[in-house]
Structure 1
Amino acid sequence: MATASETPVLDTLAAMTVDSIERCGLAPDMLMLTRIAALAASDAPPISYLAHIDPAIRTGVTVEQLQDVLVAIAPIVGTARVMTAAGNLTSALGIAIAVADAETEAQARH
């Protein structure tokens, strides 16, 4: 099967995300918090959290809200998944901060 794109997987994920957002009636911050909860419940890797960090920040989601989500889902998904999610979220935040710092340094040099 030939594709018209060099990134068919990313393109598909982006299209699914856009479709989901268009069909969802949640406020943007609630949508992002719900997605974070789903990532924790599905034992997602750090890269999955990384894809949601910038959109979550843009909607005004706070670290406290992220912590509250993990607390709220702990009785349902279990402590092991919540601890893994906290670590993966922390890793994703660290990556996001490192990228932002590198971009800031690059802009300062030019």
Structure 2
Amino acid sequence: MATSSEAPVLETLAAMTMDSIERCGMDASTLILTRIAALAAMDAPAISYLAHVDPAIKANLSLEQVQDVLVAIAPVVGTARVMAAAAHITKALGFAIAVEESDAEAMAMAESESRNRA
């Protein structure tokens, strides 16, 4: 089945993440922090963290909570993986912000065009 979405893979992954939150017995913040720890442990790329940005925001996670998780797992997974995770999280957040800004610009442009036609 074809989709008209501009980002079907990312939207599917986000939907899977949200579905997991709904089906898991953990509260949303604990689940996302656990996933961040797992991503760091497996040396996941930045794109893997990107799927967790929106759920982390919805769970009201703070930067300090994410940092605490990285500090907690450092002795187990190692400095290199924790530093790589921090860099990947930063990159994912930068991408998410860029997408939000792009969406905001597109909405403003569409609104402006709508006013010009009226």
TM-score (norm 1): 0.82
Counterpart in the other structure of 2:106: 106
CA distance in 1, matches of 2:98, 2:85: 20
Q: For residues 4-43 of structure 1, what are the structure 2 equivalents within 5 Å?
A: 5-6=1-2, 10=9, 17=17, 20-43=20-43
* Number of equivalences: 105
SS in 2 for 1:94: helix
Unaligned 5+ segments in structure 2 are: 4-8, 112-118
**Structure 1 position 91 matched with structure 2 position 106:** no
Unaligned 5+ segments in structure 1 are: none
Question: Alpha-carbon deviation of 1:98?
Answer: 0.3
Counterpart in the other structure of 1:69: 69
CA distance in 2, matches of 1:17, 1:59: 12
Structure number, greater radius of gyration: 2
State, as a whole percentage, how many aligned pairs show the same letter: 65
Counterpart in the other structure of 1:48: 48
Counterpart in the other structure of 1:79: 79
